[in-house]
Structure 1
Amino acid sequence: MKNKKKDIRALSKEQLQDFFISIGQRPFRGKQVYEWLWSKGAHTFEEMTNLSKETRQILEENFVINHIQVDEMQRSKDGTIKNAVKLHDGFTVESVLIPTYSRTTACVSSQVGCSLDCKFCATAKLKRMRNLNPDEIYDQVVAIDQESRLYNNRPLSNIVFMGMGEPLMNYNNVLKSIEMITSPEGLGMSSKRITVSTSGVPKMIKKLADDEVKFNLALSLHSAIDEVRTQVMPFNQTFPLEDLKESLLYWYQKTNKKVTYEYLIWKDINDSQRDIEALVEFCKLIPCKVNIIEYNPIDDGMFQQADSKITDRYQNALEKSGITVTVRRSRGKDIDAACGQLANKSSK
């Protein structure tokens, strides 16, 4: 028989208050339960000790808390931690804690699998099975924050939506999770410390701008030449660079916030002078910065990291044009926790 219990974290505070009114109790009970669910991260109704046993029983009969479980935790030699996170329906996603001297960053997933088809990414080899709910994204952050306090003796400082999935293809749930992460009734983190990374869905980038979001935007670019980008990211055929440029211009005009372009350099794919010049030109569109990321192989050998001299050429050309550029070394490669490597190798 199908479970008729409702997911309690799908309810707003007002809906919880209405529930308590409907069973003849005072509405402030709804606020208490809401606090237990979000601020205190309760996994069970039994933990809600300021509620009577009878009230907890009523909650138990009507609702369920679909809390995630960290099924397996791996620690890299560089301090990176990867969690295989089991969801209530048996699916697994992965999230990562990246500690550095100046910050501790949670890299969280937004989908089981991915909606897009980037050829260089392990997650893209899994079809999209479903979107994550806001509470499942939120729980990943809570789990990583706890691990950061335990292993690094400091709280989480930053969150990046760069794990499994395309965040803008799970738009409403991602924004709701960020609302709870930043809310004083949730984790109370600053929006400035959150970055949502997209592979580039123009319509949704415009929607972010219209919704006046306060978090940062990053874009996985990897080529500023349409035919090259389509070769590595086939969906670029549907969302070409001209459309992407238009949406980025719209984003900047609406938000006045710069964009970070994430860029991998591969041998014989985007390592020519033409590729470098195209990126420099693309970067003139709006204020931006470029993160050149070390490529992490995913076993099929089609993509290989370009020579470091090519990275230097890119860096020099960008800096000469006044564009901020950083070269980012990969973390957690030994446990398949680096960018593009998340693919549930731990699950069957």
Structure 2
Amino acid sequence: MVRKPLIGMTLGELESVAAEAGLRRFAAKQIARRLYVNRSQSVSEMTELPKASREWLEEHYCVGLQAPIAEARSTDGTVKYLFATRGEGFDFLDGGAGGRDVEAVYIPDRERATLCVSSQAGCRMGCRFCMTGRQGFHGNLTAAGIINQVMAIPESRTLTNIVFMGMGEPMDNIEEVLKAVEVLTAPWGLAWSPKRITVSSIGKLDGLRRLLDETKVHVAISVHSPFKQEREDLMPVEKAFPVAGVMGVMKNYDFAHQRRLSAEYIMWRGVNDDLRHADALARLLKGVDCRVNLIRFHAIPGFDHVTADTETMERFRDRLNELGVTATIRTSRGEDIEAACGMLSGKEGAVEKEGVANC
């Protein structure tokens, strides 16, 4: 029996569901409250709805919460969760072959508790240094599949931040990402401040413009080199979306007040880590209120670059700061469980383990 998940639905979509079930429009808010505030596990718990309507809903819809099928714990406290993209009678993937799993990473850090979520199974962007890109594209996650990562982990209620920096390019799945952000931030949903959410992109401009125009979340752009040919060698998308053009578009948006723009910059020894690169990066960001996150590279098979050393990264950071660009070195987390930046890959055909809740 095929039933559609209710989690991930916007209020407008829930109003349509309520109408289908013969309910009045206000019932959509009752359903939303059960989903996103009470965290109901089944339609049968929605006792404010008439019994006949609950029975009809149970026939055609399910809550859709699906617990992780596996986890790996790092010595630094990071936890990597593996999620199946298929549940009992439904699929969290849209437009793909299906059958692929996705990963989300929980990162506790003093008073912060961040969840790094995936938006796709695999990725089309083909960045040479990324394990996700190496596996190709296997489908877009639905909003239900994205929200499930947030709601189904044990630490869900204590999260302070969400970053769309897991598997996939969020702008390549913009419709479902926008729906997920709406669920996360709307007063009828999880009611998060958009200041607690960051969405990362390689700079795919059509989706990026929509994200900037329709939300107030923070944005991170993957740069990795200020020089066109170098970036193209690392990131083939430079041909379609030159980073200089992306930053030109960013100048049209206000990043000085309610939202923040970051440039993500992985550093490789002898490749992009000298002061010439720092000077060029500062020129690239001129006129844009943007901070830079310098990131250590986490080795993957088949890519022979190695990370820059700490002294070089500190010198690069200090040069940017001298030039008026705020730069910090990001702490590496979860490398021992392949949960660090660029290491997420998922796996095929994960087996459901005992006790996993479906639908």
Taking the aligned partners of 1:322 and 1:23, their CA distance within structure 2 comes to 58
Asked if 2 retains the 8 angstrom alpha-carbon contact of 1:203 and 1:247, the reply is: no
Residue 24 of structure 1: how far off its partner (Å): 4.9
Residue 176 of structure 1: how far off its partner (Å): 1.1
CA distance change for structure 1 residues 223 and 47 in 2, over 3 Å: closer, same or farther?
Answer: same
TM-score by length of 1: 0.88
Aligned to 1:106: 115
TM-score by length of 2: 0.86
CA distance change for structure 1 residues 245 and 185 in 2, over 3 Å: closer, same or farther?
Answer: same
- Show CA shifts across 1:221-268 (max 9, x none): 111100110111011112113322222212348988441111111023
Aligned to 1:48: 46
Aligned to 1:67: 65
Whichever residue aligns with residue 79 of structure 1, its letter is G
CA distance change for structure 1 residues 204 and 8 in 2, over 3 Å: closer, same or farther?
Answer: closer
CA distance change for structure 1 residues 13 and 208 in 2, over 3 Å: closer, same or farther?
Answer: closer
Higher helix share: 1
CA distance change for structure 1 residues 26 and 244 in 2, over 3 Å: closer, same or farther?
Answer: closer
Aligned to 2:77: 79
- The reply to whether residue 282 of structure 1 matches residue 290 of structure 2 is no
Residue 27 of structure 1: how far off its partner (Å): 4.5
- Aligned counterpart for 2:149 among listed residues 134, 140, 149: 140
Q: What SS is found at the alignment partner of 1:250?
A: coil
Residue 300 of structure 1: how far off its partner (Å): 2.2
- Aligned counterpart for 1:242 among listed residues 230, 234, 244: 244
Whichever residue aligns with residue 145 of structure 2, its letter is E
Taking the aligned partners of 1:23 and 1:62, their CA distance within structure 2 comes to 10
After the TM superposition, which of the residue ranges 6-15 and 157-166 deviates more from structure 2? 6-15
Whichever residue aligns with residue 33 of structure 2, its letter is E
Aligned to 1:119: 128
- Aligned counterpart for 1:36 among listed residues 34, 37, 60: 34
Tell me which stretches of 4 or more aligned residues in structure 1 moved more than 6 Å. Answer: 253-256
- Aligned counterpart for 2:179 among listed residues 160, 172, 176: 176
Taking the aligned partners of 1:187 and 1:10, their CA distance within structure 2 comes to 11
Identity of aligned residues (%): 37
Q: What SS is found at the alignment partner of 2:277?
A: helix
Taking the aligned partners of 2:54 and 2:299, their CA distance within structure 1 comes to 50
Q: What SS is found at the alignment partner of 1:204?
A: helix
CA distance change for structure 1 residues 174 and 217 in 2, over 3 Å: closer, same or farther?
Answer: same
- Structure 2: stretches of 5+ with no match in the other structure: 92-98, 351-359
Aligned to 1:152: none
CA distance change for structure 1 residues 165 and 39 in 2, over 3 Å: closer, same or farther?
Answer: same
Q: What SS is found at the alignment partner of 2:172?
A: helix
Root mean square deviation of aligned Cα: 2.5
CA distance change for structure 1 residues 122 and 16 in 2, over 3 Å: closer, same or farther?
Answer: closer
How many pairs does the alignment contain?
339
- The reply to whether residue 214 of structure 1 matches residue 216 of structure 2 is yes
CA distance change for structure 1 residues 183 and 319 in 2, over 3 Å: closer, same or farther?
Answer: same
Residue 183 of structure 1: how far off its partner (Å): 1.7
- Show CA shifts across 1:22-68 (max 9, x none): 65555444432232233333332233344454433211222244333
- Show CA shifts across 1:172-199 (max 9, x none): 1111111111122221111011111111
- Show CA shifts across 1:251-291 (max 9, x none): 34898844111111102321233222211212223111111
After the TM superposition, which of the residue ranges 325-334 and 275-284 deviates more from structure 2? 275-284
